[in-house]
Each structure stands twice: as structure tokens, then as C-alpha cells.
Chain A
Amino acid sequence: MASRTLTRADLSEAVYRQVGLSRSESGELVEQVIGEICDAIVRGETVKLSSFATFQVRDKNERIGRNPKTGEEVPILPRRVMTFKASNVLKQRILDGHGAGGKKS
């Protein structure tokens, strides 16, 4: 199975075909959906999209890291990171799609 990469263009094409808006409006709406999700994450909100995934923001404290090449200790500053947790529905669909087990036997 040759792997390909989908982009915004593919998403707006899908909206164009399935919802029946104009091409330019489909693109604009896809942009708004992505933009709105990003903005909520940046505000620190948890974004829960049922049957798809949850995006969460976590605060990381400062810790001492080490440059693996030189062995030198460097402080890793406190920062905010995002976590992605796929829903069980999506995880199972991906397993099924790859012909994997995944079922309790």
C-alpha cells in the first residue's frame, strides 16, 4: 500500500464534494475548523472531538536535560506541550483497517 500525504487541499475537496459548498468556501470553512481547534488549544482548553480524539495542553516544569553528544547539562525551561489521545473508536478502526487483531480473544 503506497502511503500518501493528505493536505488541506484534500480536506476542502472532500467538503466540496460532500457538502455542496463552492470550492473557495469549502477551503475557507476547512481553514476555520482547523483554526478554531488550534485557537482553543492555544487558549489552554482541552479539545474533545468524540469518535476522533482529544487534544490537551500540559504544563511541563523545568528540568535538567543533557546534551547526549557532549554530556553537558542544560536546563530545559518550563513550557507548555500538547498531547494527542486518539479515541478508542479511531484506534480500533485503524487496527481493523490494517487487518490487525485488536479484539480480545
Chain B
Amino acid sequence: MIKSELVQTIANRNPHLFQRDVDRIVNVVLEEISQALIQGDRVELRGFGAFSVKNRPARTGRNPRTGETVEVEEKWVPFFKAGKELRERLNAEKN
């Protein structure tokens, strides 16, 4: 499923809304989560999961091809942990 299909599904279920409003709603939700992560905040959505940003400290790495050492800068990476309910649903449907 891609974003336009998500918008279409929700638009079909809410015939009183214009598709462009549904498009905005989806974008506002995703942008709000993105902004939180950019500011270093967490986003916790019960039933789905939690988004957070993890710090990776600077380290000395090595180019695996040449063996040369390189300084890797500190970085911040987005992280998502699926919620308990989603993990259970993923496995319930299979059994």
C-alpha cells in the first residue's frame, strides 16, 4: 500500500470529505510524527507502536575494503518499535 492508496481507502469510507482534505489529513499526521522526531521527541501510538530517535555516538570505523580507519560522526537515527497489539495481531492471523 502506498500513500495515495491509503488516502483513497479513507476517502471512500468518508464520502462527505473531499479527497484533497483526506490527503491533507494523512500528510498532517505523518508530518506531525516527523516534526516530533526532528525535535528529538517520541511518538507513542497504542495499538501501533512507538517512534523515537536513537543516538549513535561517534566511533572509529574501518573501510572494509581497504582496511583504512575512518572517523564516523555522531548521528541520530529514527527508530520504531511495534506495539504489543500489532505484534500479536501479526502472529494471530497466521495460526
Contacts and interface: CB of A to CB of B under 8 A. Distances in A.
Interface of A: 1, 3-8, 10-11, 14-15, 18-19, 21, 26, 29-30, 32-34, 36-38, 40-42, 45-53, 57, 79-82, 84, 86, 90-91, 93-98, 100-102
Given A6-B41, A34-B48, A97-B38, 20 more contacts: A3-B41, A4-B41, A5-B44, A18-B24, A21-B21, A29-B25, A30-B25, A34-B45, A38-B48, A40-B1, A47-B1, A48-B3, A49-B30, A53-B78, A57-B90, A79-B90, A79-B91, A81-B87, A91-B78, A97-B76
A82 B82 contact: yes
Contacts of A84: 78-80, 82
A15 B75 contact: no
A105 to B, nearest CB: 9
Interface in B31-81: 32-34, 36-48, 53, 73-80
Contacts of B45: 7-8, 11, 34
B37 A94 contact: yes
Contacts, number: 153
A88 to B, nearest CB: 11
Interface string B1-32: 11100100110011000000110111011101
Contacts of A14: 28-29, 32
Given A6-B43, A36-B9, A46-B1, A86 B93 contact: no
Interface of B: 1-3, 6, 9-10, 13-14, 21-22, 24-26, 28-30, 32-34, 36-48, 53, 73-80, 82, 86-87, 89-91, 93-94
Contacts of A1: 39-40
Interface centre among B1, B32, B45, B91 (most CB of A within 10 A): B1
